[in-house]
Structure 1
Amino acid sequence: MNEQYEEVITKIKEADAVVVGASNGLSISEGIHIFAENKDFIEKFGDFRDKYGFRSIIQGCFYPFPAEEEKWAFFSRMYDYFLYNGEASPVMKHLYELVQDEDFFVVTSNIDDHFRQAGFPEDRLFEIEGNSRNLQCRNACHNKIYPGDDILSEMARAQENGKVPAELIPECPACGGPMQVHLEIDRNFLKGEAWQTSFQAYRDFIEKAHSKKLVLLELGVGARNQLIKAPFMDITYAEKNAAYITLNKGELYIPEEIAAKSIGVNGDTAEVLQRLAQLK
């Protein structure tokens, strides 16, 4: 295993560019599992579970709440659960230590905004499905997204009996209509100016790395993931100098076509990142 870790570090150090791709498995390594009916879910969201019947955070994101007061109670509590302590986890700190000296870019489907919390620059980050701290007009009447930290934090602390006070519910500054958290939970998800800018920055980074030594570092991405894994494997196949490195616990998938250019590390992502950061 030490030889494998050394090989990963060598690939990263020798790379001209590093693209980090992250999905749910990275969040799980931090202790957050949005798909699980686990102890945290029951402790933090048990009243919603009992009242509405959904059994995970992700199910709550898509639940048709009967009233705005209840919807915002859930989403503000989710925000509080993800970001309440304001400090990056050891997992994210180790990941940042691993790539901070490289020319890197991050693409993620995670909604917890932990990359930005850990110090990853916003202009090197593409959150495909948004994050839990920003707001948008539900009707997508204009392209702007808004920071929601203050109002979400206030709602998280003011709610009672699974509801927030009606006077705290935000309205769109442009049309006066309802707002929602900027997450891809329905067709109203705003792929506006900020989203398009991040997407273009990601595409530009890949294009700039053409024919160079490119490392695609994939963290906790499932085998069926079409947002991150499939493009990463396509790029690896197309780029002769690319290396594909995937970290996941119990689920590694590397097609034969790119096996010679790939490294798969099967282990606890938190432990692997800590070890790699120490070696770096």
Structure 2
Amino acid sequence: MEDKYYKAITKIQEADSIVIGASNGLSISEGIHIFAENTAFLEKFGDFRAKYGFRSIIQGCFYPFPSQEEKWAFFSRMYDYFLYDEEASPVMKNLFELVKEKNYFVVTSNIDDHFSQAGFPKERLFEIEGNCRNLQCTYGCHNQIYPGDKILSEMAKNQENGKVSTDLIPKCPECGGPMQVHVEVDQNFLRGEAWLTNYQAYQDFIEKAHGKKLVLLELGVGVRNQLIKAPFMKLTSHEENATYITLNKGELYIPEVIASKSIGIDGDTAEVLQQLVQA
């Protein structure tokens, strides 16, 4: 194991470019598990569990709530759960510490906005499925997304019987129609100007890294998350000077074709990042 840590930190230090890919396993290492019916879920969302029957945050995201008042009660509470602590977690602080002096870019399917919270600048961040603190027009009548912190925080604090007050519910400033959190939970998800700009920044970063020493640092990405894993493996295979470093607890997958260019560390991501920073 010590040998793997040494190899990983050496590759990171020597890299010209680093692409970080992150999914649910990273959030789990912070203590947030959107797929679990755990103590935290029951404490925060137990009344929704009793009323609607869903057993995790992710199921709540896709639940067809019967009213806007109930929908916003759930999504504002989810926002509050993800971002209640204004300070970044030790996990995210360590990750930022590990790469802050390097040329890096982040691609993530996480919706908690913890990268921005930890100091990762927006121009180096592509959130594939949006994040929980922005709002969009449900009808997609125009391309803009809006900061939702103020109204989401207010709705999270003012709930009664699993509902928010009707007068708190946001309306689209252009068409007056309903709004929703800018998270990919249905076909209305807006791939507007901001989303496309960040997607293009991701593509440009990869293009500029061509031929150079490239590290693809994958954090908590399950085998089924092909949004991140498939492009990372393809890049590792095609780029002569690429190294694929994957951190995940209990679920490592490295195809034979890129095994010689890969480092897999099976362990708690929080502990592994701590070890890498100390190294």
TM-score for both structures, normalised by structure 1? 0.99
How far apart in 1 are the matches of 2:229 and 2:86?
29
Quote the sequence identity (%).
77
How far apart in 2 are the matches of 1:84 and 1:252?
31
Deviation digits for residues 34-82 of structure 1, max 9, x if unmatched? 0000000000000000000000000000000000000000000000000
Per the alignment, residue 159 of structure 2 pairs with 159
How far apart in 1 are the matches of 2:14 and 2:49?
49
1:223 CA drift (Å):
1.0
1:140 CA drift (Å):
0.5
SS in 1 for 2:227: coil
How far apart in 2 are the matches of 1:255 and 1:227?
17
Which amino acid letter does the alignment assign opposite residue 174 of structure 2? A
Per the alignment, residue 267 of structure 2 pairs with 267
Alignment coverage as a number of residue pairs: 279
Deviation digits for residues 223-272 of structure 1, max 9, x if unmatched? 12110001100000000100000000010000000000000000010000
Per the alignment, residue 31 of structure 1 pairs with 31
How far apart in 2 are the matches of 1:38 and 1:124?
33
> What is the correspondence of 1:46-65 to structure 2 with a 5 Å cutoff?
46-65=46-65
How far apart in 2 are the matches of 1:240 and 1:224?
26
How far apart in 1 are the matches of 2:236 and 2:229?
11
What is the RMSD computed on CA atoms of the aligned residues?
A: 0.5
Per the alignment, residue 93 of structure 2 pairs with 93
Per the alignment, residue 225 of structure 2 pairs with 225
Deviation digits for residues 177-219 of structure 1, max 9, x if unmatched? 0000000000000000000000000000000000110000000
> What is the correspondence of 1:1-280 to structure 2 with a 5 Å cutoff?
1-279=1-279
Deviation digits for residues 110-149 of structure 1, max 9, x if unmatched? 0000000000000000000000000000001000000000
Structure 2: unaligned runs, 5 residues or longer = none
Q: Which ranges of 4 or more aligned residues in structure 1 deviate by more than 3 Å?
A: none
Structure 1: unaligned runs, 5 residues or longer = none
TM-score for both structures, normalised by structure 2? 0.99
How far apart in 1 are the matches of 2:216 and 2:192?
27
